[in-house]
């Protein structure tokens, strides 16, 4: 039984599998390379569907990447120059933290991480207080992959969109496909997303919206099929950022998965996910042995620990004794746990998708009850005691070691 859809959604809609297979069996050639053009239509129409899905005007401002990590690396490396300031949050994923801190050394950046509360919510005023003339980039994780907290940043986006030399990058990896991301409202200059989570495409495809007024240095350059005579990467989005053969199976999966979401209705999905997740939260709140770190959310994420069981042990029992796949630990988000106050081992995360049933959630609850009952027998083994969590207050010491 699968409770790790925040890592990658499962199952995929049947029309996605069928669409990918159709491409692999029947669509030959390489985009912008082979003499036929049918693949060009597929790629353009998928960009258009994604643009419409996020209420973005130009299909060509959607760039395809390998995953959200690549999208975030493109923006962070492309936008930030020597001495720039960056404001971001304690809820960020390592796909933001690592490129940012690597670059902070190479380009002498000033990086601020604002705190979150014990459910992963930030106070957007804390970002606003830090904005100044040197602020080049504000990066916000719209939905926490640990707690499912969805950030309100309307005031931040209003302010940044009116600054001529500051940009807003929103990581929508966990929210895309779960809640309505309307960029006419969000006003982000960059939206980084992955295809295989809430968007229900396959692994290996992600994307990046780039405000068409902005041209940044690409992360990688190379063949573009057309314009081969140019010794530099051609300008213009998306070609400037898409070197090499594109991932046609991955792109085609998004062509079909966004159809699936549109047919099911994003509002329906959001409401259903929230209601199911609220049910799970309410049930867990009744158990004294469970400590919760999340509030009900439409992303379908629930974060908790059981008594004093190390989270990896809980995840192990869920898998070995009940065949339930979850995730545990820090989940690539090292800073948030300081504020959740769950210790250096993080927590257990269960997360579901549109397809998860109440029967499955009840089975999960029964399994948790059995683990609680046996928790005194389920002792922790070999816990290293010197283990330390990194902190938003002391990270500079860590990276200079």
Which residues on neighbouring strands pair with residue 167, listed in sequence order? 137
Q: Which is nearer to a copy of itself, 156 or 169 (CB)?
A: 169
Cα distance between the two ends of the chain? 42
Closest CA to 224 of 5, 30, 32, 363: 32
Q: How far apart are CA 6 and CA 79, in angstroms?
A: 28
- Judged by CB under 8 A, the chain residues 204 through 243 that form the site for a copy of itself are 204-206, 219-225, 228-233, 243
Cα distance between residue 62 and residue 107, in whole Å: 28
**Sites for a copy of itself among residues 304-323 (CB under 8 A):** 315-316, 318-319
Least separation in angstroms between CB 111 and a copy of itself: 11
What does the radius of gyration of the chain's CA atoms come to, in whole angstroms?
A: 22
d(CA 249, CA 119): 37
**DSSP characters for 16-44?**
HHHHHHHHHHH--S-TTTSS--HHHHHHH
Strand order in the sheet with 347-351: 290-292, 301-306, 347-351, 327-329
- Interface positions, 1-20, toward a copy of itself (CB under 8 A): 2, 4, 7-8, 10-12, 16-17, 20
The set of residues, in sequence order, having a beta carbon less than 8 Å from that of 142 and lying 6+ positions away, is 150, 151, 153, 170, 171, 172, 174, 175, 181
Angstrom distance (rounded) from CA 201 to CA 272: 20
| Cα–Cα dist 235/214, whole Å | 11
Q: Which of residues 101-160 bind a copy of itself (CB under 8 A)?
A: 101-102
φ/ψ (deg, to 5) at 290:
-100, 130
Of positions 148, 177, 198, 390, contacts a copy of itself by CB under 8 A: 390
Q: Which 333-362 positions form the footprint of a copy of itself (CB under 8 A)?
A: 333-334, 344, 346
Site for a copy of itself, residues 37 to 66, rule: CB under 8 A: 66
- Report the nearest approach of a copy of itself to the CB of residue 74 (Å): 8
Tokens of 204: 């290996």
Indicate the residue among 296 and 311 with the shorter CB distance to a copy of itself. 311
CA 224 from centroid of its chain's CA atoms? 28
Between 156 and 199, whose beta carbon lies closer to a copy of itself? Answer: 199
Verify binding: residue 24, a copy of itself, rule CB under 8 A: yes
Q: Which stretch binds a copy of itself (CB under 8 A): 112-120, 125-133, 301-309, 328-336?
A: 328-336
For a copy of itself, give the closer residue by CB, 223 or 265: 223
Which residue, 56 or 331, is less far from a copy of itself as judged by CB? 331
Site string for a copy of itself, 62-101 (x = CB under 8 A): ----xxxxx-xx---x---------------xxxxxxx-x
Identity of the residue, 267 or 357, whose beta carbon is nearer to a copy of itself in the bound complex: 357
Residue 84 or 92: which CB sits closer to a copy of itself? 92
Among 55, 118, 132, 245, binds a copy of itself (CB under 8 A): 245
Residue 383 makes contact with a copy of itself by CB under 8 A: no
Alpha helices for 147-221 (secondary structure H): 154-161, 183-186
The candidate with the shortest Cα–Cα distance to 153, out of 134, 131, 177, is 131
| Shorter beta-carbon distance to a copy of itself: residue 165 or 231 | 231
Q: Is there binding between residue 330 and a copy of itself (CB under 8 A)? A: yes
120 with 294: CB under 8 angstroms?
A: yes
Verify binding: residue 302, a copy of itself, rule CB under 8 A.
no
With binding defined as CB under 8 A, does residue 329 bind a copy of itself?
Answer: yes
Q: Does residue 326 interact with a copy of itself by CB under 8 A?
A: yes
Q: Select from 21, 41, 158, 282 the one that contacts a copy of itself (CB under 8 A).
A: 21
Instruction: Give me the torsion for CA of 245, 250, 255, 261, rounded to 10°.
Output: -150
Interface region with a copy of itself, contact rule CB under 8 A, candidates 44-52, 79-87, 156-164, 390-398: 390-398
Distance CA 218, CA 131 (A): 26
């Amino acid at each position: 039984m699968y409770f790790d859809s925040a890592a990658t959604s499962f199952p995929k809609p049947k029309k996605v599998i069928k669409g990918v297979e159709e491409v692999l069996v029947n669509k030959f050639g390489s985009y912008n390379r082979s003499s036929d053009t049918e693949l060009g239509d597929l790629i353009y129409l998928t960009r258009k569907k994604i643009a419409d899905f996020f209420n973005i005007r130009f299909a060509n401002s959607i760039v395809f990447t390998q995953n959200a990590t690549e999208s975030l690396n493109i923006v962070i490396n492309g936008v930030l120059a020597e001495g720039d300031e960056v404001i971001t949050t304690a809820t960020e994923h390592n796909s933001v933290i690592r490129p940012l801190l690597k670059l902070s050394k190479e380009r002498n950046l000033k990086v601020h991480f604002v705190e979150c509360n014990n459910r992963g919510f930030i106070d957007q005023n804390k970002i606003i207080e830090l904005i100044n003339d040197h602020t080049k980039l504000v990066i916000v994780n719209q939905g926490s992959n640990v707690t499912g907290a969805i950030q309100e940043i309307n005031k931040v986006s209003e302010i940044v969109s009116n600054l001529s030399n500051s940009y807003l990058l929103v990581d929508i990896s966990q929210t895309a496909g779960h809640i309505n991301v309307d960029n006419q409202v969000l006003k982000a200059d960059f939206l980084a997303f992955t295809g295989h989570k809430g968007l229900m495409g396959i692994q290996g495809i992600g994307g990046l919206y780039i405000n068409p007024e902005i041209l940044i240095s690409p992360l990688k350059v190379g063949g573009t099929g057309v314009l081969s005579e140019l010794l530099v990467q051609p300008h213009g989005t998306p070609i400037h950022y898409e070197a090499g053969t594109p991932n046609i199976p991955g792109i085609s999966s998004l062509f079909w998965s966004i159809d699936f979401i549109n047919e099911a209705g994003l509002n329906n999905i959001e409401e259903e996910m929230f209601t199911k997740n609220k049910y799970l939260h309410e049930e867990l709140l009744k158990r004294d042995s469970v400590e919760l770190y999340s509030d009900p959310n439409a992303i379908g994420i629930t974060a908790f620990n059981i008594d004093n069981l190390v989270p990896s042990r809980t995840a192990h029992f869920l898998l070995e004794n009940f065949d339930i796949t979850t995730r545990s630990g820090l989940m690539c988000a090292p800073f948030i746990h300081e504020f959740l106050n769950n210790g250096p081992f993080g927590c257990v995360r269960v997360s579901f998708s549109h397809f998860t049933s109440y029967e499955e959630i009840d089975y999960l609850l029964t399994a948790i009850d059995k683990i609680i009952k046996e928790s005194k027998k389920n002792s922790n083994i070999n816990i290293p005691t010197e283990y330390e969590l990194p902190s938003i207050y002391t990270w500079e010491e860590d990276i200079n070691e």
